[in-house]
């Protein structure tokens, strides 16, 4: 325990490329980029299959490959490819070692919760509302944007929270292939035997704190993005408008509606 305290109070651990601030930044960059790309891939597909209810089985099963294959395997399997493509695509092979594999693995990890929650969120919308929208003459895109998305937004953001939590926690494995981020404290500590224990604990504490902190922020965002009328009241008692919609308590933490 004192080793961990010593780790955090040692000024050398707060400076330079190996210090906590830089590793934190690296971790956020890797996690952020993978989640962003995963969102750009998964959400449009989810919107399509959710709105049209076509191809959902195929899409979801394909996406779940990202969950079924261990992230470590997803990181080391593309390694020969990311290295051999370096001269072809013109990037530094070191980039193909310490960034691309972990980026690919984290993107594949983030896609399933995003895709599934987008789909589930859209499917949870009461069909009557959509019929009403059609009756009013709204076009499909308007139905998606004005009716389905606002109602589904809380579930979709819930999926985003799940994806973010998983990616932040798992991005630590990038350190195995010389990647940066908070995983370096854990992995380097593992290599140093007994002397490295405090580094391992410190790394774990940092990753957990980051994940929880980001999740708290996102839960606020989730609440903000839910239309006011659909937010569950903070006190129990009157069930409020949520029951009119007929869906689940949408503003509650919907951590992955899978």
Partner 1 sequence: MRTPRVLALGMATLVLVGACSSGGTPAPSAAPSTAASTTPASTAPSTAPASAAAKADIRIGSDNFYESKLMGEIYAQVLEKAGYKVERKFGLGSRQERIPTMDAGQIDLVAEYVGSGLGFYDKTKITGDGQANADALQAAIKSKGLTVLGISPGQDQNAFAVRAETATSMGLAKMSDLAAHQADIKWGLPSDCDTNPLCKGALVEYGITYPPAKRTPLDACSVPMAQALQGKAIDLAEFCSTQPAIAQFGFVLLDDDKKTQPAENIAPIVRDDYLAKVDAAAFKALLDAASAKVTTELLTTMGQDIDVNHKDVAEVAKAFLTSQGL
* Interface residues toward partner 1, by CB under 8 A: 76, 79-80, 83-84, 86-87, 92-94, 96-98, 175-178, 184, 187-188, 190-196
Nearer to partner 1 by Cβ, of 76 and 129: the residue is 76
Least Å distance, CB 88 to partner 1, is 12
Nearer to partner 1 by Cβ, of 84 and 243: the residue is 84
Long-range CB pairs of 122-131, under 8 A, 24+ apart, other chains included: 122/46, 122/47, 122/50, 122/51, 122/148, 122/149, 122/152, 123/50, 123/53, 124/151, 124/152, 124/155, 124/247, 124/248, 124/250, 124/257, 125/151, 125/152, 125/247, 126/245, 126/246, 126/247, 129/245
Tell me the DSSP string of 34-84: HHHHHHHHHHHHHHHHHHH--SHHHHHHHHTHHHHS-HHHHHHTTHHHHHH
Nearer to partner 1 by Cβ, of 1 and 194: the residue is 194
Nearer to partner 1 by Cβ, of 61 and 94: the residue is 94
Structure tokens at 136: 């009013």
Least Å distance, CB 175 to partner 1, is 8
Nearer to partner 1 by Cβ, of 4 and 91: the residue is 91
Least Å distance, CB 57 to partner 1, is 26
Tell me the DSSP string of 91-153: --HHHHHHTHHHHHHHHHHHHHHHHHHHHHHHHTS-HHHHHHHHHTT--HHHIIIIIIHHHHH
Least Å distance, CB 201 to partner 1, is 15
Nearer to partner 1 by Cβ, of 16 and 57: the residue is 16
Least Å distance, CB 185 to partner 1, is 10
Contact 222, 233 (CB under 8 A): no
Least Å distance, CB 199 to partner 1, is 10
């Amino acid at each position: 325990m004192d080793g961990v305290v010593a780790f955090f109070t040692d000024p050398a651990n707060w400076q330079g490329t190996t210090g906590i601030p830089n590793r934190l930044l690296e971790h956020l960059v890797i996690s952020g980029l993978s989640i962003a790309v995963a969102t750009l891939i998964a959400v449009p597909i989810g919107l399509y299959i959710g709105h049209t209810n076509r191809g959902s089985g195929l899409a979801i099963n394909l996406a779940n490959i990202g969950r079924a294959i261990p992230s470590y395997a997803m990181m080391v399997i593309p390694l020969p490819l990311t290295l051999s493509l370096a001269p072809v695509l013109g990037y530094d092979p070191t980039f193909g070692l310490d960034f691309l594999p972990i980026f690919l693995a984290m993107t594949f990890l983030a896609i399933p919760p995003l895709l599934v929650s987008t789909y589930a969120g859209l499917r949870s919308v009461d069909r009557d509302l959509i019929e009403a929208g059609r009756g009013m003459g709204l076009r499909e895109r308007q139905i998606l944007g004005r009716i389905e998305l606002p109602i589904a937004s809380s579930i979709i953001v819930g999926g985003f929270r799940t994806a973010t939590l998983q990616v932040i926690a798992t991005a630590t494995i990038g350190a195995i292939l010389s990647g940066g981020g908070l995983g370096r404290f854990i992995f380097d500590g593992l290599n140093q035997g007994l002397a490295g224990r405090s580094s391992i604990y410190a790394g774990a504490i940092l990753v957990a704190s980051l994940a929880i902190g980001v999740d708290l922020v996102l839960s606020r965002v989730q609440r903000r993005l839910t239309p006011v009328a659909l937010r569950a009241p903070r006190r129990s008692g009157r069930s409020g408008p949520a029951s009119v919609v007929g869906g689940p308590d949408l503003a509650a933490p919907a951590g992955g509606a899978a």
